[in-house]
Structure 1
Amino acid sequence: MSNNVYGYVRVSTKDQNEDRQRIALAEFPVPEKNIFMDKLSGKDFNRPQYRRLMRKLRSGDCLVVKAIDRLGRNYEEILEQWRIITKEKGVDIVVLDMPLLDTRHTGRDLTETFVADLVLQILSYVAQTERENIKQRQKEGIAAARLRGVQFGRPRKPLPENFEQIRFDWKNKKITSREAARQLSVAQDTFLRWVRER
C-alpha cells in the first residue's frame, strides 16, 4: 500500500497566486518534488501536469489542494474529479481552505462522509454560481458602458476627406462600391458600413 503525499497547484497566467498555494502545500507538508503545477488561462483547461499527477496516484496516497476549485472549473467537473480520486483511485483528498473536506477523517463514519459530500456539493455549486455571476456582471457592465457611448475594440478609422464625393458618385451609380473602396484605400465592406452609418 502506497502512502505518498502529493500536491496540486493551478494558476491562470493572469492571476499569479501560485506562491500562496505552494507555501500552504509546503506547510502541510507536501514534499516539493511531489507538487504538480499547471499555469492556465480560465478558458483553457488542458492540464498536462494534472494528468501526470493522476497517473502517479495510487490507493492510500493523499492529494492536497489549497482550494476546491483547483480540481475543476465547474460544479460537474469538481464532483467528477472528486469521485474519480476518492472512489476509483482510493486516494484521500485534503482541501486546506476547508477542513471539513479532508477524507482522511471520513469514510469510517457515515455521518462525516455525508457531511463532507454535502459540503463538497454546496461549495462546488457556490463556486460555479459565483463564476456565472461574474460573467453576468461583466455583460451588464459592457452593456451599460455601451449605453454611455463607450467604444470597445479598435478605434474607428476616420472618414477620408473625399468620402462624401465618392459616396455621391456611388449613389448616383457613376462607380461601383468596389471602385469606391479602391479610391478610398479601404475594404469594400468598410465602405458599405460607412455608407450605412451615415
Structure 2
Amino acid sequence: MKQNSYGYVRVSSTDQNEDRQLLALKEKGVVKMNIYMDKQSGKDFNRPQYKKLVKKLKAGDLLYILSIDRLGRNYEEIQNQWRVLTKEIGVDICVLDMPLLDTRNGKDLMGTFIADLVLQILSFVAQSERENIKKRQAEGIAAAKAKGVRFGRPEIPVPDNFGRIVRQWEKQQISFSAALEQCGMSEATFYRRLREYRLRNKRQKESGLS
C-alpha cells in the first residue's frame, strides 16, 4: 500500500510566521498540496483546515507536524485526536521536534508505552504554556489599564450641543435618526451618553438645592 505523506501547520494568529514549519515539512518531502495550515488558536480542534486534513487521511498515511503544540494546546483533546488519527483512521504520526513521537518506530509494547508517556507529558506542557500565555496577557492588560491605557475603539466625543439635540428629540422636533446623525453616534452609544447626561444634570440640581 502506498503511503502518502501529509503535513499540518498551525500558527496562533495571522501575523505569526509559519516558515519554520513549512521548511521542516518540505525537507521531509511533503508536497505543497498535502500541507494543511490553520491560523488560529490551539485551544480546540474546531479548525477548518485540520478538519479537511482528517477527512483526507486514510489508513497507512503519514502525518508530519513540527511539534505537539502545533497540533493543539488542550491536553485532553490532543490525547483524543492522537487516538482518532492513529487508532481509528490508522495513520502514522511523526513529531519532528520529538523523535520519540514517531509511531513508525517502536510498535511493540515498550515502544507504545514510551510514546504514550511522552505524548502525555508534551500535551500537558502545551496546555500549561497556553494557560501561562493567557495569564501573562491578562496581567499585561491589567497593568496597562492601571496606567491609564485604553483598549478598544476610541470613545466618540459628546458634541457641545448634545443637550440641545436631546431637548429637540424629546420635544419631537427632530427624529431619533436625525439625533443620532447629528451626534455621530450609534443607538447604543446615544442611549449610554443620554443616561450619563441625565445623571449629571440630576446631580447638578441636587447639589444646587443643597
Q: TM-score, normalised by structure 2?
A: 0.73
Match of 1:40 in 2: 39
Which of 177, 188, 192 is equivalent to 2:195?
A: 192
| Identity of matched residues, % | 57
CA shift at 1:162, angstroms?
Answer: 5.3
AA partner of residue 17 (structure 2)? N
1:107 aligns with 2:107: yes
Amino acid at match of 1:97: D
Q: Is the 8 A contact 1:8 1:64 kept in 2?
A: yes
2:9–2:35 CA contact under 8 A, matched in 1: yes
Query: Residue 178 of structure 1 contacts residue 188 of structure 1 at CA under 8 Å; is this kept in 2?
Result: no
Greater CA drift, 124-133 or 152-161: 152-161
Q: Which runs of 5+ in 2 are unaligned?
A: 204-210
Structure 1 residues 106, 7: CA separation in 2 closer, same or farther (over 3 Å shift)? same
Distance change in 2, residues 1:49/1:195 (3 Å): same
Quote the Cα distance in structure 1 between the aligned partners of 2:81 and 2:197: 52
Give the distance between the partners of 2:3 and 2:45, measured in 1 at CA. 28
Q: How does 1:65-144 map to 2 (within 5 A)?
A: 65-108=65-108, 110-144=109-143
Q: Tell me the distance in 2 between the aligned counterparts of 1:122 and 1:86.
A: 18
Distance 1:156 1:15, change over 3 A: closer
| Distance across 1 between alignment mates of 2:137 and 2:160 | 38
Aligned residues: 188
Structure 1 window deviating more from structure 2 (40-49 vs 24-33): it is 40-49
Kindly indicate whether the alpha-carbon contact (under 8 Å) linking 1:177 and 1:188 is maintained by their aligned counterparts in 2: no
> What's the C-alpha RMSD, in Å, of the aligned pairs?
3.2
Q: Gapped runs of 5+ residues in structure 1?
A: none
* Alpha-carbon distance, 1:32 to partner: 3.4
Deviation digits for residues 47-72 of structure 1 (CA, Å, limit 9, x no counterpart): 33323322332222211111112323
Describe the superposition over 1:54-91 as per-residue Cα deviations: whole angstroms up to 9, x where unpaired.
Answer: 23322222111111123234112211111011111221
Which secondary structure state, in structure 2, belongs to the residue aligned with residue 9 of structure 1? strand
